[in-house]
């Protein structure tokens, strides 16, 4: 949840994917909870964003491509600016990741319009966050954070993308705090082995330090949990490996899935599933990490 006004209490916001009302393409939509005593639970859902294609408040860069995996966060001054990231697929073009910032607009439904950041000019390759817009990128995760105490947060995004080796690599980008209209990459691939696929990244800030965890193929087809933290300024982009080179696991014979991450004041928590729940008695593993 969040609030578009730092002077007001936060409320639930949600981003989701849904087939367009008049098309067969999946669109990204956003709604926020508005207090209403007549509604179940004391609030109702109000859609957010200008009416665009087919008079729907879709966020899609291209409403004739499918959009998936939306992620939402509140960042910038007072953590009062909503941001959404997602990826689009189809039309014989690479999978591309996009972001939009919510800009206050009293004339738009929900009080905000969505502005692609950076701008899609002259075409969508200009606003794609992909390291290489000609390669597939998918499943973004966005969080808000700052590497300097007392400074306003900015959105950070982590995702898998096909790298030069032909395997999925984990990349991180953040909003440029100078221009606030473009994203800059923070380091290169986070993979332990760039010749193996890495998937399902998650990210969290512990204080002013960003941590990224992901699943990476160990070469046998089984995926292991890995963890890094940013050990330098973002411009240098040095990500230090916190997990063993072979990854975290309880049973090396079982593949990991369902990775999640959370942070306390000085402790990081990871949870994942070991084993395939459809074919064996899998286990949920909870691990804590203290720097």
- Residue 134 inside a domain? The answer is no
19-23, 58-62, 96-100, 271-275: least confident range: 19-23
pLDDT, tens digit (0-9, with 9 covering 90-100), for 243-267: 999 999 889 899 999 999 999 999 9
Whether residue 229 sits in one domain with residue 117: no
Report which of 177, 202, 195, 257 is spatially closest to residue 224, judged by C-alpha positions.
Answer: 257
Report which of 226, 158, 161 is spatially closest to residue 193, judged by C-alpha positions.
Answer: 226
Does residue 169 carry a pLDDT above 90? Answer: yes
pLDDT score at 262: 98
Q: Residue 269: give its domain's CATH number.
A: 2.115.10.20
User: Is 203 within 8 Å of 211 (Cβ atoms)?
Assistant: yes
Whether residue 287 sits in one domain with residue 149: yes
Average pLDDT over residues 223-243: 97
- Residue 138 inside a domain? The answer is no
Whether residue 182 sits in one domain with residue 82: no
Q: Which helix (H) or strand (E) holds 241?
A: strand 239-241
pLDDT, tens digit (0-9, with 9 covering 90-100), for 149-166: 999 999 999 999 999 999
pLDDT score at 76: 96
- Residue 233 inside a domain? The answer is yes
> Which domain range does residue 192 map to?
144-291
Provide the number of structural domains found in the chain. 2
pLDDT score at 63: 95
Q: Give the residue from 95, 128, 161 where a domain finishes.
A: 128
Whether residue 148 sits in one domain with residue 117: no
Whether residue 282 sits in one domain with residue 193: yes
Distance CA 151, CA 208 (A): 10
pLDDT score at 4: 75
User: Is 167 within 8 Å of 194 (Cβ atoms)?
Assistant: yes
């Amino acid at each position: 949840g969040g609030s578009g006004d730092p002077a007001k209490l936060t409320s639930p916001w949600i981003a989701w994917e849904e087939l367009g009302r008049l098309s067969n393409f999946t669109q990204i939509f956003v709604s926020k909870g508005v207090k209403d005593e007549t509604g179940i639970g004391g609030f109702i859902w109000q859609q957010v964003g200008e009416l665009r294609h087919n008079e729907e408040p879709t966020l899609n860069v291209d409403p004739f491509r499918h959009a998936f995996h939306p992620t939402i966060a509140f960042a910038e001054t007072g953590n009062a600016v909503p941001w959404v990231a997602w990826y689009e697929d189809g039309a014989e073009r690479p999978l591309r990741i996009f972001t939009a910032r919510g800009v206050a607009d009293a004339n738009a439904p929900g009080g905000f319009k969505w502005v692609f950041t950076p701008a899609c000019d002259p075409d969508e390759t200009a606003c794609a966050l992909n390291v290489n817009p000609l390669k597939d990128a998918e499943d973004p995760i966005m969080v808000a954070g700052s590497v300097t105490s007392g400074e306003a947060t900015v959105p950070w995004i982590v995702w898998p993308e096909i790298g030069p080796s032909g395997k999925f690599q984990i990349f991180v980008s953040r909003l440029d705090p100078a221009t606030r209209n473009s994203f800059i990459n923070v380091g290169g691939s986070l993979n332990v082995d760039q010749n193996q696929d890495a998937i399902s990244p998650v990210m969290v800030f512990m204080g002013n330090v960003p941590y990224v965890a992901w699943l990476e193929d160990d070469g046998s087809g089984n995926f292991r949990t890995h963890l890094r933290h940013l050990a330098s300024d973002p411009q240098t982009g040095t990500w230090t490996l916190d997990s063993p080179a072979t990854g975290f696991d309880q049973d090396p014979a079982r593949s990991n899935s369902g990775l999640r991450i959370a942070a306390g004041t000085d402790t990081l928590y990871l949870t994942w599933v070991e084993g395939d729940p459809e074919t064996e008695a899998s286990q949920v593993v909870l691990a804590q990490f203290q720097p």
